[in-house]
Structure 1
Amino acid sequence: MNKANPTGSVKVTVRLDQLFLSMSNPRHKAVDGEPEAIERLCRTENIDVLARDIALHGTNPAERLILFPVDETEELGDDTSYYVAEGNRRVCALKLLNDPDLAPANIRDSITASAAGWVSPAELDAVVIRDEADRNLWLMRIHDGEQGGRGRKSWDAEQKTRFFGGNRNVLAQSLLDYAERKGMLSSEDRKGRISHFSRLLSNALVKDALGIEGSSSSGDPMRNRPKDDFDRVLRALLDEAGTKSLGSQVRKTEINEYARNVLQKIEGVSGERIEAEPLVPVTVEKEDSPATPKGKPAKPKGAVNIKHDDEIASLLQSIGAAKLTSLYYSICTINAAHHTPLLAIGAWSFFECLSGSLGRKDLVPFKDFYQKSKLESLGVGTGKELNGPLKALERIADAGNITKHHKIAANFHAPQLINDMETLRPVILATLREIVKNG
């Protein structure tokens, strides 16, 4: 519902597809179109960082966008198009989360990772101010400092410390919140731990052993260890934060020794590192998902990894195929969108080894080994229903060979590779069952 007020502004709710970035935003020189505006903002305004924050926490509910109609003579309606006068960074980040292909190449992977599970909000709160002088007045109030009390007044260092508890505690607070959600400690148990915990987390060796990336003042931690390994190390740190066996005023040299001799030698913790990912993944509950906005349909979100199958993993373990087991784990763990050429070769190697374990001769390519008659004999299917698996085998064979041997050509199409591996799940299972049956 729109509501006018005496100053001439009108409060509205709008869809993202109604908004266009300003071509003459003070944040960049005048541009000729929205793609150029996106490129300029991404190059100078840390849009990838803002996009990740919005994906994790949403947009600030206390800040409305300031808009004006593209057609200044148009009556406001449900399909009115607007330029953004205030909030261009937010709108740019939202547009990229909604369609990562719009992002410049150097941040596209980051935007794609942030957009996993993202659902564009159905509506955004805004205010329409038609008069340019009125718009400029409020833009000045927001962006031109304190202005003798008329503008926004910044907190001084003491006020920030009073509110935030000191930047050094932000990471510790986030990890304690995570630990409490995971049942590692209760709200009562966490009392009195934050100071010692913060001291430990300020140490580079401790953060590396835990697998935390970024500064100790980061409130959105990223981990580069698998979740089980991360949780084991975190539990050890929480125990130390509770017992303070190192002493509450422990020195850096002693913390270094603790990191090397205790944290890096915890039983059951592997040396594996993964592509850094948020400590708390962005998830969207289906029942809470807003309706698809009118206008442009929402772009479907694809998978970023080859799907891991528990039955395949169990059969690989049962036949004692160490190489195949390791290959399967790797190709299902590595981010396909980021490492497509590597996974193209990995998938090729997996089928080479799999078919070889079933008796394929060395000089016979696996796509020739898995002829229609072979797939029928394995019980994969008959007739036309085998066209999909046969084409998938051909693509994996050709893409793997080209990626391995050509100095330029390579497979960079992650969605197709992920789909081909899913299509070939029945072939993999049938092959492994046959290997088990043959002993």
Structure 2
Amino acid sequence: MKQVSMRVASLTLDEINPRHAKQTSSVEESIAALLEKGPDKLLKLARDIMQHGINPTELVVVMSEGDRNIVLEGNRRIAALKLLHKPTLAPTEQLQKKFAAIAKSGEAPKKVQCIIAESRLQAAHWIRLRHTGENNGIGVVRWSTSEASRFGGRSTPTEKARLFIEAISNLYADDSELLANVAAVRDSRITTLGRMIGDPDVRSRLGITFEEDVVLCSYPKHKMKPITSQLFDDLAGSLSVDRIKSKRQREDYLREVEDKLPKLADRLEEPEKFSRVTNGEAKSDLSNSNTADDANKKPPRRKRADFEKRLFQSVTLRHVTLRTSELLEEAKRLSIDEMPNVAAIMVRIVVDVVVTDAAEQLGWKRNQGDLKSRIGAVLNQVDPTKDDPSLSDAWRFSQKEEGALVLKTLHSFIHSWQSNPLTSEVRKLSMAYSPLLIKADELIAKKKR
């Protein structure tokens, strides 16, 4: 078998695909048969293709038969691509609109890498192994829960707990009592700790976030110490999982320890980080040193994730009003993939609230009539020469000709019930306007001095 690149338009879906209850006779029938078993799955596959492309680790298997290139393996992927290029292939108007909306988020691949099989028989062994489980080790051996957790890093609550324990052990290495409680939790209560810090509201109040295998701390270590000591003391003692199982119970616990929690006014301008290093030892950028050199040293810049899962996750505002800051922190808890409609609305609201806050604090009266003008007022102040690369998308999306459509999209997120926001669209806007929010906050600080 040989590998070649083939155009999606030249590929024919398999009419005797084992996924079909009966043989189909056209591409429309084949697509309808695939959609019958769950249109949401094919819609999600289409969205994933638009966001990440075609999975390069799984090639499409094709057999030539006369003038047709029949897809033996990868029919769902090819069906999703055909629907992205021609949404009218979907059997209902509602599905046609959904695939058309997804297609607008970018440019769908027109070619795919394929393996050419001489016959169904030649490909049958590999296709069977792909779809029939482990086959005593010959097929695909699924990861166990712990293996998936180790690969996923911070993706599971337990792995978050492990990272948090490593961070705390490193940050407070001279506190023997705290370390004893940490060890007890690690040995017998790690899943309970995972339940606590798996809750985004708890993480927000503690001042920690996770970025792959990095723990980001939003408060100085001495401000985090009281709640950290209290939490591990409670978990090592009488705080069982039954007492923090539900969200309401975790909220009750936070109210009980309110006096130990760090205050919003103590937040760092830039989160500091704890991370693993390649030799397996823990490494932290937090320090207790109070030397002049350390005092003048700027905290390390947080690298923005390539694929943000939450709104404005790289943004921390210190000079806007408290309510604006709290609004942002609440918006940052939203998962774009899990709540795309709410996230889309909050993109529009957060941007508007922050630029309006800046205008009010700085006494601006002109150019405040609409969102475009309010954003433009900030942009012209923070980037008068229009050469800041971090703000290029904010300029393009709000002030230039193509920006009219983007602003219309922002408005439609709130006012149009026909709007169907895509996660890729929401994520793009969040990342584009994040530098603007940061610059607006810095401008408030600068003008007030």
- The alignment's TM-score, normalised by the length of structure 2, stands at 0.45
- The alignment's TM-score, normalised by the length of structure 1, stands at 0.45
